[in-house]
A and B are shown apart, each in its own frame.
Chain A
Amino acid sequence: MKVEIIWIFLFLLPVIIFYIILVFFPIFFSFFVSFREWNMLSSPWSSPFVGLRNYINTFKDQIFQKAFLNTLSFSLAIIFIGIPIALFIAILLTKVKKNTFWRYVIFIPAISPPIAIGMIWMYLFDPTYGPINLALNFLKLPELEWLASPKHAMLAVIIVGIWSSIGLNSLIFYAGLQDIPQIYYEAGKIDGANAWSSFFKITLPLLKPVTLFILITNIINSWQVFDLVIGLTGQKLATPGGPANSTQVVVLYMYQTAFRFLEMGKASAMAFVLFTILFIFSCISLLSMYKGGFENV
């Protein structure tokens, strides 16, 4: 038995070392640095200890506040607009018999690199030559300046974010819908349920585990938005997050704080603030949706 345990440990050892070096050490080092004033040019061990100053400065930082609000609005849009749209598309997919082609088409955004998505949408949003404004003009709707205006730039980022999240979410919902046995719907029909009641009383409750998974992963991914903003706003030599910080998001500001402004301590503090926010949101999601699925049927 002891020999067996030793062998188990030896086989697990490479993975344990991997996690210690690449996961746990960076987390603890980052936590250590968040209490220091370190600019990466000198030794972190001899950098001055500043206590909670980096955390206080993070909350006082007006740009961080702006980035926080931008990221919050992005995340709320993904959750309350993107996820319902994905569910709607998944339901439509179940109604189409030969839907393989449509599943491939819908999945394209999920396999496209966010930087590429950002760069292509940047041209689509061009205020003068972009097709979006041309379409708005054709429909006699007011044209917007999109990425060229601090008022509309974040809206453009949100639209692209929702678009790029739909693919993967739809397919996960589709898989979840496929798992719901038809007998529940048949039983519901017998009891006089119409389409709406079936949806709210059968589909949604049985989809809770899938919805919870999508909700948590989308919360985490949306709060970590970074390369999409760079693709949309970081044209040659331009500082992404503009114009005038209107598309600044938490992870991007963290990166700029660390590598442009050489304030690694403050950037590490921001990372832990972000971790805390994500942890709280994930707990809220778990607590609100922990009951559901087939175990509760």
Chain B
Amino acid sequence: MSKFKAFFLIFLGILLCISLAQKSIVLRIAIHSDFDREGFDAYLNEYSKLHPEIKFEKEVVPFEEYLTKLLTDHLAGNPADIYHIYSLWGVQLVRDKILSDPPLNVIYDVRKNYHSVAVRGATIDGRVRGIPTEIDNYCLVYNKALLKEAGFNAPPKTWKELIDMGKKLTKYDARGRITQYGFVYLAGWDSAVVHPYLSLVYSNGGKFLSNDNKKCLLDSPEAIEALEAEVQLFKEKITDLSGNVFDFPNGNIAMMIMAPWIENNLKTTMGDNFKNVGVAPIPYMKKPATLLYTWFFMVDSKSKYKKEAWDFLMWFSSDIQKNKNTTRLGDYLVEKVGAIPSRIIDQQNHPEQLYDQFTKTFVEELKNSIAEPNIPNGAKIKTILMNEIVSAWKLIKTPEQALKDAVKEINKLLQ
């Protein structure tokens, strides 16, 4: 009987401890692998120390699988609380009520304190849907050493100059294969094909879509000329489809068009040779222009801890650190991710990093940047456009035919 009493007392004691223990909240935050850098966990731990009842569970997914993960999580009824999404995906997610509406203080803070393009990126159907994070535009990234070797002291300013310089920078082996590329793309990656092309369309005075986003305008003469300008690179054998922007650190690529987040990748892989990397505005056709895309943090509509999730995101993105006059998210984006932050105070107070050899031109080109439109079926539209552009590059279709075919399919999706 005494043994029974002892067990009963122990059992009561355990029940008492459980009931007295603070209610613990676990916030699940899902990010893609390129956003997960050293130091992210430190912010999560810092917040947990300030709010002991909140713990974090971080899920890291390769970028190419990120949207699929979000969908399958939601389908399984087990979504993460916080996601970091590419703005282009936002339209469909809003229409299917995946995003929870931010509280008014978040909306107010975003509208007041963020760069206008970032606010536009996080605005869908007229409402702010999340907290903007990074702004990514495109510039010409070039190898200074290769240019100097070929007798060039400065990068090209116009597209015609790029073609002329490309011809001199490209080298071939005895079999006629390119061993040093004057310029590369990455065929098969929709952003690497479509974004530089759209930048050139804007530079040539063309437009991607009508003002109401219901009609694709890439069959205009300006858009066709822009694609013909790109095809010239292939006709002159300055590049081919074997070229890959991720091979730039190998030192056999003279020029490419890329976004600022490539900086950390280049620093890590190039080591001392990183000093040879130069950045310039995209060589223009009629006027300087570049495309810009954005990301934002969102809270899932099925999250049980929406308030806690928004509170964390506000702390991370808007709490100004007194000693630095920056936010933690701003520090993380600039110092670890290598991206341009969206909050104006972060752009102003990271002069060393944002105005360094690499990022400076990206920041200066914000004035010439045109935001990628948030449209439904955005991923499919980009894939259609990518495939038609590549068909033109490989001379399977003329640029005019490729763009007409693209416009036909894209208009079906827009309408």
A residues near B (Cβ < 8 Å) are 39-42, 63, 126-128, 133, 137, 143, 145, 148-151, 233-240, 242-245, 256, 259-262
Contact = CB atoms under 8 A, between A and B. Distances in A.
B391 interface: yes
Contact of A260 (B240, B242, B380, B396): B380
26 contacts: A40-B71, A40-B74, A41-B74, A41-B75, A42-B96, A126-B242, A127-B240, A128-B177, A128-B178, A128-B242, A133-B177, A145-B241, A148-B241, A149-B394, A150-B396, A234-B188, A235-B188, A237-B186, A237-B188, A239-B188, A239-B190, A239-B383, A244-B387, A244-B388, A259-B68, A260-B68
Nearest to A236: B246
Nearest to A41: B96
In the A-B complex, the 9 residue pairs with the smallest Cβ-Cβ separation, listed nearest first, are A238-B188, A41-B96, A148-B241, A244-B390, A148-B242, A128-B177, A237-B189, A242-B188, A261-B380
Contacts of B92: 39, 41, 262
Given A40-B72, A148-B242, 14 more contacts: A40-B75, A41-B92, A41-B96, A133-B177, A143-B177, A235-B244, A236-B246, A239-B188, A239-B386, A242-B387, A243-B187, A243-B188, A259-B67, A261-B380
Task: Assign chain B's interface to a size class.
Answer: 35 or more
Which of B173, B188, B244, B380 is most buried by chain A, counting CB atoms within 10 A of its CB? B188
A237 B192 contact: yes
A150 B390 contact: yes
A143 B175 contact: yes
Nearest to B391: A244
Contacts of A128: 173, 177-179, 242
A62 B96 CA distance: 28
Contacts of B391: 150, 244
A127 B177 contact: yes
Nearest to A63: B387
A137 B178 CA distance: 15
B67 to A, nearest CB: 7
B100 to A, nearest CB: 14
Nearest to A238: B188
A260 B379 contact: yes
Interface of B: 63-64, 67-68, 71-72, 74-75, 92-93, 96-98, 173, 175, 177-179, 186-192, 240-242, 244, 246, 377, 379-380, 383, 386-388, 390-391, 394, 396
Contacts of A239: 188-190, 383, 386
A239 B65 CA distance: 11
B93 to A, nearest CB: 7
A127 B387 CA distance: 21
A37 to B, nearest CB: 12
Nearest to B405: A62
Nearest to A237: B189
Contacts of B173: 128
Contacts of A148: 187, 240-242
Given A39-B96, A261-B380, A238 B175 contact: no
Nearest to B252: A128
Nearest to A262: B92
Contacts of A236: 189, 246
A259 B386 contact: no
B366 to A, nearest CB: 24
A150 B387 CA distance: 11
Contacts of B64: 237
